[in-house]
Chains A and B, each alone.
Chain A
C-alpha cells in the first residue's frame, strides 16, 4: 500500500494530520513508517502534483477526500468532518475508512 502525505509549510495543519494518519495505520496493523511525506514548495510543484492544499493524503493514489474542483495551489485545505464541522485535517474515521478500502482492494 502506498500512503502519501503532501504538505505545504505555510499551513500549520500537517503535523496533526500526520499524527492522525500514523495512528490510523497503527490501529490497522499497518506500518506508519511507510508513509511518504513530501513537501510542496512552489506553485509549479503544486500543479505537477495536483496539490489543492495542505495536507493532501493519498492512498494508492486516491485522495482520502477527493477535492471538488479546487484549484491547485499553496494553501490550507478545507476538510469536512463527519460531524459537519470544517477542519484543516481529515476526519480520522475517513482516514481509517480509506486505509481499509485500499487494503480490501489488494
Chain B
C-alpha cells in the first residue's frame, strides 16, 4: 500500500469494452475506486466527472475503477458497468473493472469512493475523499481540485491525505 510520496502501483485494467488502460503519460492521474451500488460513490460521481472535464485540458487523466465482488453484489457486474457507460453516465472517463481486486489491494483502497492522485512521475500525492461532504455538491471536489492545482503548479497538496468516506469495498470471500 503506497504512502504519500511513494510510487503508486502500476496496473493495466480493461474498460467495459475490454480496452486496457494504465496510469501515466499524463500531467497527473486521478485513480478513483468507485462502483454502481454505493450511495456515496453515486453522490460524488458527478463531481468526479466535472474534475475530469475541467482538468482534461491540462492533461489530467481520470480512471474510474470498480473493485467490488460482482458475484455477491450483482449491481457491480460488468454488464451493469457497461449499461452505465452506454447511458453516458461515465462521460469520457474510462470505467475499469478490477475483477481480481489486485489493484484495489495494492493501493490499499478502503471505500467507494477512494481517490488517489498521482503526479506525472507516478508518485502518490493525495489520497482520500473528493471533498468534505458527499451531500453538498457545492463542495465541488475541493480536496481533489486543491491537490490537482498544487501538483500541476509544482507544489505540495495540503492536505495530502483525508479520511476515505463511503461504502466498504466488497472483497471476495
Contact = CB atoms under 8 A, between A and B. Distances in A.
A73 B72 contact: yes
B73 A75 contact: yes
A10 B167 contact: yes
Given A79-B39, A85-B43, A86-B43, A11 B167 contact: yes
Contacts of B134: 87-88
Contacts, number: 41
Contacts of A77: 39
A75 B135 contact: no
A66 interface: no
B40 A71 contact: no
Interface residues of A, number: 15
Given A73-B72, A73-B73, A87-B135, A78 B165 contact: no
B168 interface: yes
B38 interface: yes
Interface string A68-103: 000101011111000001111000000000000000
A12 interface: yes
Contact of A87 (B39, B73, B170): B39
B145 interface: no
Contact of B167 (A71, A76, A79, A87): A76
B53 interface: no
B39 A12 contact: no
A65 interface: no
Contacts of B74: 71
B39 A78 contact: yes
B42 interface: yes
A88 B43 contact: yes
A73 B72 CA distance: 9
Contacts of A88: 39-40, 43, 134
Interface of B: 37-40, 42-43, 72-74, 134-135, 137, 165-168, 170
Interface of A: 10-13, 71, 73, 75-79, 85-88
9 contacts: A13-B39, A75-B38, A75-B73, A75-B170, A76-B38, A76-B40, A85-B43, A87-B134, A87-B135
Given A78-B39, A86-B39, A88-B134, 18 more contacts: A10-B168, A11-B167, A11-B168, A12-B166, A71-B74, A73-B72, A75-B37, A75-B38, A75-B167, A75-B170, A76-B37, A76-B38, A79-B39, A85-B43, A86-B43, A87-B43, A88-B40, A88-B43
